[in-house]
Chains A and B, each alone.
Chain A
Amino acid sequence: DSGVTQTPKHLITATGQRVTLRCSPRSGDLSVYWYQQSLDQGLQFLIQYYNGEERAKGNILERFSAQQFPDLHSELNLSSLELGDSALYFCASSVGGGLSTDTQYFGPGTRLTVL
């Protein structure tokens, strides 16, 4: 158990809908990262938040948005869902915001299926 929690574990929804994925980082970690794992793209970085502020952005679609709250939990919002958004979404956390020595610990993931 990494100490990172994600809910829900599974989510099945329809095209055009909107969903929210939730992540709680390990105790003491200030950074939260979101990654997407799909069959065709592999594991890809989406976005990072550090202590409530956006720190780095990756291949995140405009239909997706995220935020980190004062208690450091984070939510990833996916809207106008398409079939291609079906994937495993991971949250990771680390202590720092940009240290090279930071180790990222991953949550169990949320499996999203868009029908």
Chain B
Amino acid sequence: GIQVEQSPPDLILQEGANSTLRCNFSDSVNNLQWFHQNPWGQLINLFYIPSGTKQNGRLSATTVATERYSLLYISSSQTTDSGVYFCAVKEYGNKLVFGAGTILRVKS
């Protein structure tokens, strides 16, 4: 099946800093989603981005489908950005395959 790798596994930032999270996938996909899991365990949809670039406030994402990677940018990070960021791609049918996640800690 498709493999999804995320890097870095862990990231510690000072409030106000910028960061880039990466997601590599092993096969071509036509559905890619980024999620944020907050410290209470909730999975929050950030982007549906099978290709191209999207922006939502301080967050933006870019997927280069032909090169099998996606990037999530967080600018001017805040403590509320802490949590785990997951990339997920759709395999056959409707199954979402998740990466292992990037744990982000933003310190004030």
Asked whether A and B interact, the reply is: yes
A residues in contact with B62, CB < 8 Å: none
Does more than half of chain B's interface fall in helix, strand or loop, or is it mixed? strand
Which 4 A-B pairs rank lowest in CB-CB distance, beginning with the nearest? A56-B93, A43-B98, A106-B43, A100-B30
Contact of A55 among B44, B48, B50, B93 (CB under 8 A): B93
**B interface residue numbers (CB < 8 A to A):** 30-31, 33, 35, 41-45, 48, 50, 86, 88, 90, 93-98, 100-101
Q: Is the CB of A105 within 8 A of B96?
A: no
* Contact across chains for B43 and A90 when beta carbons are under 8 A apart: yes
A55 to chain B, nearest CB (A): 7
Are A108 and B94 touching (Cβ within 8 A)?
A: no
Chain A binding surface SS class:
strand
- By a CB distance below 8 angstroms, the chain B residues around A55 are 93-94
Q: What are 10 A-B contacts with C-beta separation under 8 Å?
A: A33-B96, A42-B101, A43-B88, A48-B94, A97-B94, A101-B50, A102-B90, A104-B94, A108-B41, A109-B41
In the complex, which residue of chain B has the Cβ closest to the Cβ of A90?
Answer: B43
Task: Report yes or no: A100 in contact with B45, Cβ–Cβ below 8 A.
Answer: no
A111 touches B41 (CB 8 A): yes
Supposing A2-B45, A90-B43 touch, asked if A56 and B94 sit within 8 A by C-beta, the answer is: yes
Q: How far is the CA of A37 from the CA of B41 in the complex (A)?
A: 10
| Contact indicator per residue, chain A 26-66, by CB within 8 Å of chain B (1) or not (0) | 00000101010000001111001000000110100000000
Residues of the B chain whose Cβ atoms lie less than 8 Å from the Cβ of A109 = 41-43
Q: Are B96 and A104 in contact (CB under 8 A)?
A: yes
How far is B68's CA from A90's CA once the two chains are assembled, in angstroms? 27
Task: Compute how far the CA of A108 lies from the CA of B33 in the bound complex, rounded to whole angstroms.
Answer: 17
Say whether A106 contacts B45, CB under 8 Å.
yes
- In chain A, positions 89-113 with a C-beta closer than 8 Å to chain B are 90, 92, 94, 97-98, 100-106, 108-109, 111
